A and B are shown apart, each in its own frame.
Chain A
């Protein structure tokens, strides 16, 4: 995948990965009206025989996917992240509980979705899917990594939820570096020993910008793309806690239960160090531009810088 100046949205990577699977007759793509948005429309155009469109009916979609899976197919089902939540109990009881391999993708996740407003801005999806036994939970940062991780899911033997984002962002991966991605393993983009910034999704770019700002004042940060929220790369987190002594998480999601919550649980059980969590602070979003919302909600690179300084100060107490 080349890198046009406009960058890439992770949903485009999802669509590109589905397209690469058209020759695999085990793969079935399932949609609930929003294929043009989630980008499953690309697969549908190439292989309508293996695309099941189910209208605006997410609950039905979850179990149709489960039925196909138990009959030998590998279903990739998608809608908006927020609307997957309408079928949460279907995912819980109909997919995760019997451990049926369905790959669910929720696009337009987070407040970065922007002007559609709070009804469309899922800020709790990572948290709720993370609570389900058997589920893998993934949130890639750009189109290149989303494509690589989606292709990896084809051979993944447990159900998964992948959140993608609506908007194009600057790419953090090349085709070569994305090739190294593994589900369940955080990817280190930058190393430093003063603080570790663990980010996912569109917040990876804010984290990388924050690291540059911190470096100017002599603070060197490690920046990790924690694209897999579950299973969490606890070995890496423990290692970073020991090496850096201070950690910041950054996610376009509620600070309750998502990446920040998962990292907090890991630290408390393994190697407690000061942690600052950047994300949505227990409130809903509203209509606005993506950057406006990030700024209003305290999720810009400058906020990560401040959080890193706070975490370092606390670690010295």
Chain B
């Protein structure tokens, strides 16, 4: 169980990400609700994390010494469920329970409902703090396990995020890795119209974080960034990944309407063609 990821090469990761995209759109279309945009922007990184890096065990989801993945932007749950399916935590039938009564795939990722989910999200701004707690525990245990936290860019407007940003540096939490999904869109509109955030990398750097910016849809860059973050051990590391909300489905790309809306039948058919 000490192996990282699934031993996949770049081409295999890209192929898996495409399969995840199909499942994301199917889940959201199937229930007629959900958040496709932020799932599609994050899925290349999610695929790289589970396919290339995280030490987790689908046969033992609560294995104490597993790496933690904390999806703080919990509405991007279809993205998480689709990669947990590829990684062996969820069956194809499990994915069909998305947003349904009694289903393990709750509307927002929930550790009490879904195997492989490490954090009950849904209210933005909390995941980084939780990851800090997990990493402090790892240090107390003398373990080398790591905590990976994914934040949305709109989520950075929550004040609690910056409480955590300060604390992670103060406590020199080297096992903590943050990924910011900089897709530029939040619930109501583009981030630039809702609350400008200017240079996100500069903000993290000014607090003392090691920061790397990448194209969040280039699998080579993503894998290199994960390996870079692993080399940062004297404090927290942040990967700011520039992404396209709705990436892979033409009419969803960079479209605020698909932050939290399902495609209609015609749109669904088109999406499946584009992702074939």
- A73 lies within 8 A of B140 (CB): yes
By secondary structure, the B interface counts as: helix
Task: Return A95 CB to nearest CB of chain B, in Å.
Answer: 10
Task: Return A59 CB to nearest CB of chain B, in Å.
Answer: 4
Is the C-beta of B120 less than 8 angstroms from some C-beta in chain A?
yes
- B111 lies within 8 A of A67 (CB): no
Knowing A97-B120, A98-B120, the reply to whether A68 touches B136 (Cβ < 8 A) is: yes
B-side contacts of A93, CB under 8 Å: 120, 122-123, 126
Using C-beta atoms within 8 Å of the partner chain, give the interface range for chain B: 20 to 34
B-side contacts of A71, CB under 8 Å: 64, 133-134, 137-138, 141
Partner of B167, one of A28, A54, A68, A90: A54
Task: Return A91 CB to nearest CB of chain B, in Å.
Answer: 11
* Docked CA distance A272–B258 (Å): 54
* Residue among B122, B123, B136, B147 facing the most chain A CB atoms (10 A cut-off): B136
* Docked CA distance A67–B159 (Å): 19
- A60 lies within 8 A of B167 (CB): yes
Is the C-beta of A66 less than 8 angstroms from some C-beta in chain B?
yes
Knowing A52-B171, A98-B110, A99-B112, the reply to whether A63 touches B166 (Cβ < 8 A) is: no
A-side contacts of B137, CB under 8 Å: 67-68, 71-73
Using C-beta atoms within 8 Å of the partner chain, give the interface range for chain A: 20 to 34
Of residues 87 through 120 on chain A, the ones whose CB sits less than 8 Å from some CB of chain B are 89-90, 93-94, 97-99
- A59 lies within 8 A of B123 (CB): no
- A59 lies within 8 A of B171 (CB): no
* Docked CA distance A54–B128 (Å): 14
Knowing A67-B133, A71-B137, the reply to whether A90 touches B120 (Cβ < 8 A) is: no
- Give per-residue flags for A20-60: 1 if the beta carbon is below 8 A from chain B beta carbons, else 0: 00000100100000000000000000000110101101011
- B111 lies within 8 A of A65 (CB): no
Q: Can you name the residue of chain B whose Cβ is closest to the Cβ of A73? A: B137
Is the C-beta of A172 less than 8 angstroms from some C-beta in chain B?
no
Is the C-beta of B130 less than 8 angstroms from some C-beta in chain A?
yes
* Docked CA distance A269–B24 (Å): 48
Partner of A59, one of B127, B131, B160: B160
* Docked CA distance A250–B218 (Å): 65
* Docked CA distance A73–B138 (Å): 11
* Docked CA distance A203–B167 (Å): 38
Is the C-beta of A64 less than 8 angstroms from some C-beta in chain B?
yes
* Docked CA distance A59–B166 (Å): 13
Knowing A50-B140, A64-B167, the reply to whether A70 touches B129 (Cβ < 8 A) is: no
Knowing A72-B64, A90-B126, the reply to whether A67 touches B140 (Cβ < 8 A) is: no
Knowing A70-B118, A98-B111, the reply to whether A63 touches B140 (Cβ < 8 A) is: no
Of residues 251 through 272 on chain B, the ones whose CB sits less than 8 Å from some CB of chain A are none
Is the C-beta of A62 less than 8 angstroms from some C-beta in chain B?
yes
Q: Can you name the residue of chain A whose Cβ is closest to the Cβ of B72? A: A63
Task: Return A291 CB to nearest CB of chain B, in Å.
Answer: 38
A-side contacts of B127, CB under 8 Å: 63
Q: Give 6 CB contacts A-B under 8 Å.
A: A55-B166, A66-B133, A69-B133, A73-B137, A93-B126, A94-B129
Excluding A63-B160, A72-B64, A73-B137, 5 further A-B contacts by CB distance (< 8 Å) are A57-B163, A60-B163, A69-B133, A72-B141, A97-B120
Residues on B facing A (Cβ under 8 Å): 64, 110-112, 118, 120, 122-123, 125-127, 129-138, 140-141, 147, 159-160, 163-164, 166-167, 170-171
